[in-house]
Structure formats: structure tokens, C-alpha cells
Amino acid sequence: MLMSMSSDDVFSTTISRQVWDTKYRYRDDGTIRDASIEDTWRRVARALAGAEGAARDAWEARFYALLEGFRFLPAGRILAGAGTGRRVTLFNCFVMGVVEDSMDGIFDALKEGALTMQQGGGVGYDFSTLRPCGTPARAVGGIASGPVSFMRIWDSMCGTLLSTGARRGAMMATLRCDHPDIERFIDAKRDERELRNFNLSVQVTDDFIRAVHADAAWPLVFPLARLGTGESGNAGEIVMRRWPGTDQAVACRVLRVVRARPLWDRLMRATYDYAEPGVLFVDTINRLNNLGYREHISATNPCGEIPLPPYGACNLGSINLTRFVDRPFAEDARLDLTALAEAVRVAVRMLDNVIDISRFPLPQQAEQARGSRRIGLGITGLADALMMLGIRYGEDRSFQLAASVMATLCHAAYRTSAALAEEKGVFPFYEPDRLLQAEFVRRLPADIQDAVRRNGLRNSHLTAIAPTGTISLLANNVSSGLEPAFDCQYRRRVRQPDGSYEDFELIDYACARWRERDADRAVPAAFVDARSLGWSEHLRMQAAVQPYVDNAISKTINVPADLDFPAFKSVYERAHALGLKGCTTFRPNPVTGAVLATDEPAAGSHHCCSIEREAD
């Protein structure tokens, strides 16, 4: 029998109630509309069931049952906006359109980003289209200042929106590893005052990794047609590259040649010192993209779990695994995978309906979301569920269970999407022969491929594992996403509506449940905190579930401050070898600070999309 939760004990922690009250409780001109969390669940269930026509009442009841007790956690924009009538988007994050290399194009892109963030969406950009610093700006006879200089305008815009009381913004900036300004991009945040509203990630290609291993020369290039006629545009050999905004490889001028290994070391040193930039293994992303036949991806949402084409959007939700543990902490504790699969069937339908009822800041975003019907269903509470099952995060059994969970979720999601396609129709960008040849689809069980062949798919993508810091706090501080528990008891800084931070003393959900059973024992036998795990255990967990995630995974690889630099580099090299789509590490440092602490909270400015600024 699954764990139940009555209305009297929905919130077992002060911070959970405060998160609901300040972030997700519906108020209309100061009048409270959600008297209780049950009202919030009912509001969201009713809004999403509005896409079900004559069957809306039946689906509202099923949606509510899944939301009740935090069994399913839709992303924050859905919880906050669905059923309110406000002119807001229910999508958390977007990748914006290609930034045209002209003053008009740059400021049009800036405006689109501002309009999107105004409605609560985070934004991601690939700035590789902007000419490198020092090349001629042929239209005005000047010299280009490069991508990083223009990123500062976006950073100021985001900061201005924050000061006006809009939801805090989050932005991702990516740059190709062969762009001539790549060193400037890598070093951009060495000054702790720079680009604080951005996350940065470098698009790392397979060719670059091979060049690093071979200690080979690495050409830095830019499309010939976009260069001016000065010296930079007339020197160097011509190579062919697929560039953002192009449908095929174009002629590019080699502007400089560097050694691949020192460039890689520079990137690694930056992230070793101050946790940025992250790394996107962009060839893996595109090779495993179900829609690779019609789109090329070069950017992600701000936390990296949804690689997206221009104007693509995140539609996220997470199954709370702690609610599917039978007989927690008992010797015969088990995870109910049958109930999990049934929950997935309902959750997929809920997220699919979000697409139909949501507003969009821009018409191009609506077209892309409705054309692909991408969703990103994932998990949260994994570490706590493992503790409740008596399994230590990082042991072989933990990887096996996580893989089993994600296989169950993925396969149930695809079966549901095929059934929805039969009921409601396929996603408009669907091309049956080409989708069935996609590498991820070809890995699915034969019965799913047969169902897709018969019915098509309702959604081009279905699974993602997002950071769930805030909605996990809402659910009584369950462990976040795929991450291990930070600690059994710790302090967390939480951003308040006025922009200030308040410290809270927190107890991990599984530890709190354990203490209810046995107050004399400090922690469950299977407890392990994030800092006690080696980096290889973090990576193995991410690798265990990656085969069942068609979007991507947001996972932070915690490494100790005293990890030596060669070992640190091997984290990323191993991540690439394991077939991961990206890698993000966190090594304690004075630049990013911290939002979680076992003792005194760290000083310093926090990372743009740390656990406090995640995609919910």
C-alpha cells in the first residue's frame, strides 16, 4: 500500500508551507484564491483537464489524484500559473531564435528574450553567430566587439527585470568550441561581477575531444559569408562547418589555429576554479535527437536538461519516487513499479495538455511547442527513495534500481504517447519513416516501436531529469532530482519575494521519516551525503539513467576542493566516454558561494542556476 497523506499533515516543514505560500499559492489582487494546497492541486487539475472536452470531469479527478500528496510535481510555472487566467506561460524555459549578426538582429533577439522572461520563462542562446572580436563590421566600417561584449547587454536586461519585481530570470549562453572568441568566453566569469545572470556552456564536439587526445592543432573559424572584407576575412584556409542558422555545412574561414589540449585545459581550469563554463557534448545531443531529421541543436535551457532548437520550450514534471515506496525502512521495503507506470500514464497526459492550454510569449515559440509537443517527464526524490529501501546511493544496487525506474518511466511514457497519438493525433512535425530510424527510438522495446509504427507518437520527446530544488522543498524537502541528499540536517538560503535571503534549518525527508520511527538513531543505515560520494559514483548514476532519457539530465557532479586538477579533467573525459550529453561539476570556491551549508552559509554571489535558481 502506498504512503498516504491527509490534508492535516500535507506540510511537515515550515519551509514547505512558505514555498507554497510565496511561489505557488494563487492570489488575485491581494485576495487569496487558494485557501489550501488542495485548492492549488484542484486549480491545476481543472485547468489541465480543460483540454479533455466532454471527459474533462473524469480527467480532472485523475489529475487531482496524481497531484495529491505530492506524488507528481509539475514544474513551477504550471503550479503557479495554470487556472489563474494570468497572461503567463506555463513553460519554464526556452531556447531563443538564432541571433542575427547585425545590430537590428541583436536587439530584436534581446527584445524577444525580455518578453519571454517577463512572462516567467528562462532563456538560452547560442552566441556563436556573432562575429569574433576584432573582425571588421562591414555595414558600418567598424570593428566587431564579439559575443561576450553583447552578452553583457542581456545580463543587464535580466538584472533590470529582476529589479522591477518580475520572476527572477535565468539565462544560458553557449558558444562553439571552434569560435575564435572561445577563450574570451571561457574566461568571461573570472571576474565575479561579470554575467551573473548567465550560465555558460561550451559546445564541445567529438572532433575536438579527439584533437585533445591527439594533442592536435585546432582551427578557430567563422563563416566566410559573414566576415567583412578586411584582413581577417582574407587570411586562412577554408573549411566546411555546420553553423547555427544553416541547414548544411557552409564555408568557414580559419582565423586562428590553437592547440586543442591547452584550450581544453583552459576550459577545465575555469570550471575547476569557479564552476563555469559547463560542457555540452553537442554531437551526442544531435546524434540522439529524435527530431534530428529536421533540427540541429546548439543550446539548452538554463539548467541543461532540455536541449532545444530555436524557439523550443521546456514542459517539465517530476514523479516523486518517495511516494511509491511500500513499507519504507522495513526489510521487505519495495518500490512499486506498477503504480509508477500508472502514474506516468497520467502525468504524460497532463504535460501534453499543458501545450494546449498555455500562452506563449512569442508566436514562434507556440509554433515550435505545438509542432513537436516535446515534454520532459522525470523523477525526483531518488536518493530518499533509496534510503527508504535500504540502498546506499553509489552502490551497484542503486544504479540498477535507478536504471529500472527510468526504464519503467520511459517505456510507459512512450506507450502512452503512442496511445495518445491514436486518440488525439500525432505531433505535426512527425515523419514516420524518419522518426522510426532515430537512434533513441530504435533502442526502444519492439512492442513500443510497433505501436509507434501503427499509431505514431503524440510527443517527439518524453523524458528529462530536471533540477527540482524548489518543488522538492514544496514536497517536504525530498532529495532533488537525481542528486544524492546534501546532508541529513543542514541550512539552506531561500530567496524571498523582496530579493533578500532567509536561512532555514532543514531535515532531509527520508531522515525525518526515519526519526519518526526511531528517534535514537541519527540517520538511516543507507544514508550517504553528496560530499561523501566520489565523482565516479555521481557519473555512474547519470550514466545509468541516460539510456532512458531522450532529452537530457541536469546533474551536478560534486567534487572536493582538494581534488587535483588532472583528476578533475578526467571527470569530463569520462563523461564523454560514457555517452553523456553534458557535464556540470561543482567544486567549492569563493566565486559561486553556496546556498546549502552544514555550518555557516558561505559568502559570495551564487551561481546563476544553482540549486536555488533551478528550472522550476
DSSP letters, 549-607, are -SS-B--EEE--TT--HHHHHHHHHHHHHTT-SEEEEE---TTT--SEESSSPP-SPPP
| Residues 166, 169: Cα–Cα separation, whole Å | 8
- List the beta bridge partners of residue 137: 142
Instruction: Give pLDDT, residue 594.
Output: 56
User: Mean pLDDT across the stretch 595-606?
Assistant: 45
162 has pLDDT over 80? no
Query: For this structure, is 315 an active site residue?
Result: no
Instruction: Give pLDDT, residue 7.
Output: 42
Model confidence band, residue 192 (pLDDT cutoffs 50, 70, 90): confident
5 has pLDDT over 50? no
228 has pLDDT over 90? no
What's the Cα-to-Cα distance from 98 to each of 44, 243, 389, 492, rounded to whole Å?
34, 11, 47, 38
> Does residue 272 contact residue 568 with C-beta atoms inside 8 Å?
yes
What is the percent of the chain with per-residue pLDDT over 90, rounded to a whole number? 82
476 has pLDDT over 50? yes
User: Mean pLDDT across the stretch 111-134?
Assistant: 94
Query: Residue 478 CA to chain centroid, in angstroms?
Result: 18
Instruction: Give pLDDT, residue 229.
Output: 58
Model confidence band, residue 6 (pLDDT cutoffs 50, 70, 90): very low
From 197, 301, 315, 476, active-site residue: 301
Instruction: Give pLDDT, residue 312.
Output: 98
DSSP label at residue 483: P
90 has pLDDT over 70? yes
User: Mean pLDDT across the stretch 88-105?
Assistant: 95
Among the residue ranges 139-148, 182-191, 272-281, 552-561, the one predicted with the least confidence is: 139-148
> Does residue 605 contact residue 612 with C-beta atoms inside 8 Å?
no
What's the Cα-to-Cα distance from 88 to each of 79, 91, 216, 569, rounded to whole Å?
12, 9, 49, 42
All cell numbers assigned to 346: 497520467
Q: Which residue has the higher pLDDT, 490 or 326?
A: 326
Closest CA to 76 of 172, 157, 168: 168
Orientation angle between helical segments 103-118 and 147-163, nearest 10 degrees: 30
245 has pLDDT over 80? yes
Q: What share of the chain is helix, strand, coil (3-state, %, to 5)?
A: 45, 20, 40
pLDDT per position as a tens digit, 303-317: 999 999 999 999 999
Residue 212 host element (H or E): helix 206-214
> Does residue 203 contact residue 576 with C-beta atoms inside 8 Å?
no
Instruction: Give pLDDT, residue 216.
Output: 98
Model confidence band, residue 591 (pLDDT cutoffs 50, 70, 90): low
> Does residue 126 contact residue 299 with C-beta atoms inside 8 Å?
yes
Instruction: Give pLDDT, residue 201.
Output: 98
Instruction: Give pLDDT, residue 220.
Output: 98
Instruction: Give pLDDT, residue 141.
Output: 66
Instruction: Give pLDDT, residue 407.
Output: 98
Among the residue ranges 117-121, 408-412, 593-597, the one predicted with the least confidence is: 593-597
Neighbouring residues of 297: CB distance < 8 A, sequence distance ≥ 6? 282, 285, 286, 289, 307, 308, 309
From 177, 303, 511, 609, active-site residue: 303
From 295, 305, 483, 614, active-site residue: 305
pLDDT per position as a tens digit, 25-74: 999 988 999 999 999 999 999 999 999 999 999 999 999 999 999 999 99
List of domains in the chain: 7-90+305-455 (3.20.70.20)
DSSP label at residue 480: P
**CB-based burial of residue 566 (10 Å sphere; 0-12 exposed, 13-18 middle, 19+ buried)?**
exposed
Average pLDDT, the chain: 91
Query: For this structure, is 183 an active site residue?
Result: no
CA torsion, ordered 505, 509, 511, 512, to nearest 10 deg? 70
Instruction: Give pLDDT, residue 601.
Output: 38
Model confidence band, residue 138 (pLDDT cutoffs 50, 70, 90): low
Query: For this structure, is 177 an active site residue?
Result: no
pLDDT per position as a tens digit, 345-365: 999 999 999 999 999 999 999
pTM score, whole prediction: 0.94
Model confidence band, residue 613 (pLDDT cutoffs 50, 70, 90): very low
User: Mean pLDDT across the stretch 454-483?
Assistant: 96
User: Mean pLDDT across the stretch 530-553?
Assistant: 96
Instruction: Give pLDDT, residue 391.
Output: 98
pLDDT per position as a tens digit, 509-535: 999 999 988 777 778 889 999 989 999
Instruction: Give pLDDT, residue 87.
Output: 87
Instruction: Give pLDDT, residue 600.
Output: 39
